[in-house]
Amino acid sequence: MEVHRLSKLALQKILQGKVDGEITCVIKFYSNGCHYCHELHEPYTKLAEEYEDLYFFAFNIGDYPEVEDIVGFEGIPTICLVKTGTNIPSRRLIAEPDTPHKKTWYHMKDIRKFIEREK
């Protein structure tokens, strides 16, 4: 799958359970001013190509700063997995790394483990 950028409205629909059907979304929250976010772009895009059954998205928190409080995270980049299909979609956040990757913050192996465990 390719990575699609989410609009505020589309993100709200996913988070509020207003999506038809059961889908699993992986959402990378980012900011244009974050160097980790920029470095994570290419590895995240390659990761999305590995999964045919998941939808990969990216959302700029500058478009909806309140999303940090709504989803329950602090700081970016942040990876969230959302499963729709119920009135209250399940949301899981990847844990902060004990030893962050010096360029991308997250290690790709940790993102893969998170996805495999939560999907």
3-118 homologous superfamily: Glutaredoxin (3.40.30.10)
Predicted pLDDT of residue 51:
95
Is residue 68 within 8 Å of 74, Cβ to Cβ? yes
Predicted pLDDT of residue 92:
97
The domain ranges of the chain are: 3-118
Helix (H, G, I), strand (E, B) or coil at 42: helix
pTM as predicted: 0.96
Tell me: pLDDT of 88 over 90: no
Kindly report, residue by residue over 15-31, the tens digit of the pLDDT: 999 998 899 999 999 99
Bond into 77 cis (ω within 30): yes
Kindly report, residue by residue over 30-83, the tens digit of the pLDDT: 999 999 999 999 999 999 999 999 999 999 999 999 999 999 999 999 999 999
From edge to edge, which strands make up the β-sheet containing 90-93?
Answer: 3-5, 55-60, 24-30, 78-83, 90-93
d(CA 30, CA 88): 24
Paired sense of beta strands 90-93 and 24-30, if any: unpaired
